[in-house]
Amino acid sequence: MSSAWNHTCQMKRLVVGLMTTPDYNEWWVRRINDDVLRPKIQARNEVLEKSLSENQKEKSELKDRVVELERSLRQYRSQNSIIELKASLSKIKEMKNIIEELETTLQNCEVRIEYLEANEGRQNEQLHTFKIKLETGITLWEKLWFRFER
């Protein structure tokens, strides 16, 4: 094959030097392309591998960060729930105190009503007695007046 491309051919008044075969031409183009492309492809592959490695590392870091943030979120939710429960408990205690005060006030009012009802009965008796005495006094006065006028 090496001698095939190195001989001179004559063709109807045209002399072509160093004629090559199509196989050689193909081989030569591939060789040149391979030589040129190999470093470029190799460099590109290295860059891509480096980029892939960096991306995988970043992905791993992001996964770790997500796990950390999820843990933190659970912790904050738990703390928030505890705070809400404490606030609810505080409100419940406050309402319980208010209810106790209202119950005490209600009992005092009931006792006072009983006292007033008892007093009402006694005062009605006193009023009735006073009314009778007053009527008796008026009748006596009328009798005296009637006698005095005559």
7 pLDDT higher than 60: no
141 vs 63: CA distance, rounded Å: 112
Q: Which pLDDT belongs to residue 121?
A: 82
Name the band, by pLDDT with cuts 50, 70 and 90, for residue 138.
Answer: confident
The mean pLDDT value of the chain amounts to 82
Give SS3 for 38: helix
131 pLDDT higher than 70: yes
Q: What global pTM score does this model have?
A: 0.41
- Helix, strand, coil percent content, the chain, rounded in steps of 5: 85, 5, 10
Look up residue 119 and give its two tokens: 């007093």
Q: pLDDT tens digit string along 27-50?
A: 777 766 665 556 677 788 889 999
Whether residue 65 contacts residue 57, with contact meaning beta carbons closer than 8 Å, is answered with no
